[in-house]
Structure 1
Amino acid sequence: MRIRSHRPRAVLALVTAALLGVAGCGASGDGSSAPHGAVKGRPSPKPSPLWNRSPHSVAAVGDSITRGFDACTVLSDCPEVSWATGSDTRVRSLAVRLLGPEGAAERSWNYAVTGARVADLPEQMARAVAEKPELVTVMVGANDACRSSVSAMTSVARFRAAFQDAMGTLRDELPKTQVYVSSVPDLKRLWSEGRGNPLGKQIWKLGICPSMLADADSLGSRAALRRAKVRDRVEQYNRVLGEVCAKDRRCRFDGGAVFGFRFGTDQLSHWDWFHPSRDGQARLAELAYRVVTARQPAG
C-alpha cells in the first residue's frame, strides 16, 4: 500500500501563513497594506485642539445680567450692553472682542431671559443650538438664590440636575461646541457695597433679592445668618457649575473669577443698585475674554 505524502500541503500552508503575516504586520491605521518601512506615508494631520481660542460665533444663555437689564434705562433690558453679545463700544462684549463689531452683529445671539433661573436653561439652550454656535456662554444662578426667603432658594440637587440637562441638550446636537460658564456673582458683596446708598436701599425694599437684601441696615444675628446662608448656597451653585463643566472637555468654568471680582458701586446700575452698570458689563466681558482666550483653563 502506498503512503501519500502531505509535505506539499504543509509547505503551501506555511507559505500562505507567512504571506498573511507580512500583510498583517505591514497594515497601517489608514488601511495601507504596504510592509512597514517600505513606503513612507504622508504625515498624520495634527489633531484639532479641544479648545479653539478664536471661535467664529457666540450664543448666550442665562438671566437678566446677560440681557443688560437696568444698565441703560429703568426696568428695561438693554442687550446692546450685554457682556456676552452686546454691540456697545464702551462695553466691548465678548462677541465683539472675539469676532469684531461686524462679526458680532452677524454671528452672535442672545437667548438669555430676564428673571430666568437654572430650570429655564435647557429651553434656552435648545434655542441656542439651532444657531449652531461655536461658543455658548452661560451665566445663571443669581435668581435661584435671590428668592423671597432662604427656604425658597433652588436646592443644590435641582440646580445640578437642571444644569446637567442643559448641557445634555447642547451635547445631543453639538458635541464640539465650546461652553464658557461664569460663576454666580457674590450677592453678599452686592449687599455690602450697595447698602451705603440711601436710594439703593429704598429700591431694594420694592422686593429686589429679599433673601439677601431685605432689612439691609440690620446687622443682627438673624439677618447675618440669613445672608450667610444665601452666600453659602451661591458657593454651592458655583461648585456644581465647576464640577459639571469639568466633566466636559469642551467646557471652561471661570474658576470663580466673577464670584471673586471686587466690584464697587461704579459697576452697579444706579437704577436698582443690583444689576451691572455699563462699566460692570465691561468688566464681565473682560473676565470672560480672559478665560476663553487663555492657553489653559482656569485652575
Structure 2
Amino acid sequence: MTALTGLAALTVAQAVPAGATAVGQPWRPVVMAALGDSISAGFNACGWYVTCASRSWSTGEHRDVRSHYLRLRALDVALAGHNVNLAVPGSTSADLAGQVTQAVGHRADYVTLLIGAQDVCVSEERLMTPVAVYESRVAGALALLRAGRPDARVFVASIPDISRLWQTGRNNLVARGFWEVGRICPTMLARPTSTSAADQARRDRVRDRVIGFNAALARVCAAYGPNCRFDGNEVFRQAFTLSHISKWDFFHPNAAGQRLIAEKTYGAMRDWLAEEEPVPVLAP
C-alpha cells in the first residue's frame, strides 16, 4: 500500500460517523434500543411482577438468554454498554412513536420492535385495535425513526400466536387460575375450558387479528426498505410450551422463552452482519 492510499483510507475511516458502515467493513451497530411492550421488557422473566430487562431477547445482558445485544457485542466490543431498553409493559401501538423519539435521542443505530399483544389483549373484543389503525401507527413511528436516524436499521419481530398459549395452558389448573384472577388477556383466555362455538369463534377472531397485525408489520417493513428486516412470522410460528412461560403469570416468556425468541429472530438479520462494500481503488 502506498502512503497516499493509506492516508486516503485513514481519512475515509475517520469521516465515518459512529454507527455507520465504513467502506469495506461489515455493518456493526454502536447503540441499540429495544422498543415494544412487556415481552421486550422481560417482564416476569426473573421475578414476581417485575421488569427484567437483563433477560430481554433484544437488549438483555444475561448470558442464558443470548440476546441480540450479547451476540452483537461479541462481534464488536464498541457496542458494550450501549444497549437501551425502552420497552414498557402494557404498551400498545399507540405508544410506539414516543419510544421511537427516545431511541432517536439515544442515537440508536439498531432498533428492535415487538409490539401488538396488548392491542388484542384487552378487556373486550370490541376494544381490539383495528388492523388499519395498528398499521398506521407503526408506519408513523418508523417514519419518525427514519427522519431522526436515517441510517438506523430496524428489526421487526412478529407477535406471538396467543392462541398457542391457550392451547398449552387450558388444561393446567394453575395457569387457568392465574388467567382468571389476573384477568389476563381475556379476549383469548377467558373461559379457557369452554368448547362452545361462541368461545371458539371469539378465539379465532382474536388470532385472526394477530395475523392481520403481523401482515401489517411485513408491509410496513417492506415499505421502509433495505434497512428493515421482518422475521417472516418466525416468532408467531413457534410451538412454545409452558416450559417457556413465566410461572408468575402463565403469560409472559420466562428466560427460556426469551432465549427462544432471540434464537429464532437473530437469523433474520444476520445478512446485515456479513455486508461488505467493495473498497474503491484509488487512481495511481
TM-score category (smaller protein) = 0.7 to 0.9
Deviations 1:94-124 (A, max 9, x none): 1011113965551110000000000000000
One of 193, 204, 217 as aligned partner of 2:193? 217
Deviations 1:245-284 (A, max 9, x none): 0011211000000000111111111111110010000011
Cα offset, 1:187, TM superposition? 0.5
Cα offset, 1:158, TM superposition? 1.0
What residue identity is the alignment partner of 2:252? H
Query: What pairs up with 1:1-299 in 2 under 5 angstroms?
Result: 54-100=28-74, 105-205=80-180, 206-249=182-225, 250-294=227-271
Q: In structure 2, how many angstroms separate the alpha carbons of the residues matched to 1:135 and 1:229? A: 34
Deviations 1:105-155 (A, max 9, x none): 511100000000000000000001111122100000000011112111001
CA contact (8 A) 1:53 1:292 kept: no
CA RMSD for the aligned pairs? 2.2
Tell me the SS of whatever aligns to 1:70. Answer: coil
What residue identity is the alignment partner of 1:280? G
What residue identity is the alignment partner of 1:220? S
Q: In structure 2, how many angstroms separate the alpha carbons of the residues matched to 1:153 and 1:245? A: 22
Tell me the SS of whatever aligns to 1:169. Answer: helix
Larger radius of gyration: 1
Tell me the SS of whatever aligns to 2:81. Answer: helix
Cα offset, 1:56, TM superposition? 3.0
What residue identity is the alignment partner of 2:190? A
Tell me the SS of whatever aligns to 2:258. Answer: helix
What residue identity is the alignment partner of 1:58? M
Cα offset, 1:48, TM superposition? 7.3
Q: In structure 2, how many angstroms separate the alpha carbons of the residues matched to 1:103 and 1:193? A: 41
Q: In structure 2, how many angstroms separate the alpha carbons of the residues matched to 1:141 and 1:224? A: 21
What residue identity is the alignment partner of 1:114? P
CA 1:225/1:292 → structure 2, altered by over 3 Å: closer, same or farther? same
CA contact (8 A) 1:53 1:294 kept: no
Count of residues in Structure 1 that have an aligned counterpart in Structure 2 = 251
Q: In structure 2, how many angstroms separate the alpha carbons of the residues matched to 1:219 and 1:104? A: 50
Deviations 1:144-198 (A, max 9, x none): 0111121110011110111011101101111110000000100000110111211
CA contact (8 A) 2:125 2:187 kept: yes
Q: In structure 1, how many angstroms separate the alpha carbons of the residues matched to 2:87 and 2:69? A: 15
CA contact (8 A) 2:29 2:79 kept: no
Tell me the SS of whatever aligns to 1:294. Answer: helix
Identity %: 39
Cα offset, 1:286, TM superposition? 1.2
What 5-or-longer segments of structure 2 have no aligned partner?
1-7, 13-20, 274-284
Tell me the SS of whatever aligns to 2:129. Answer: coil
What 5-or-longer segments of structure 1 have no aligned partner?
1-41
The two structures have a TM-score, normalised by structure 1, of 0.80
CA 1:213/1:53 → structure 2, altered by over 3 Å: closer, same or farther? farther
> Could you tell which deviates more after superposition, 86-95 or 114-123?
86-95
> Could you tell which deviates more after superposition, 56-65 or 104-113?
104-113
Q: In structure 2, how many angstroms separate the alpha carbons of the residues matched to 1:56 and 1:293? A: 16
Larger relative CO (CA 8 A, sep 6+): 1 or 2? 2
Q: In structure 2, how many angstroms separate the alpha carbons of the residues matched to 1:164 and 1:170? A: 10
CA 1:86/1:295 → structure 2, altered by over 3 Å: closer, same or farther? closer
Deviations 1:31-59 (A, max 9, x none): xxxxxxxxxxx9xx9x979xx65333311
Tell me the SS of whatever aligns to 2:224. Answer: coil
CA contact (8 A) 1:144 1:154 kept: yes
CA contact (8 A) 1:61 1:111 kept: yes
What residue identity is the alignment partner of 1:128? A
CA contact (8 A) 1:85 1:104 kept: no
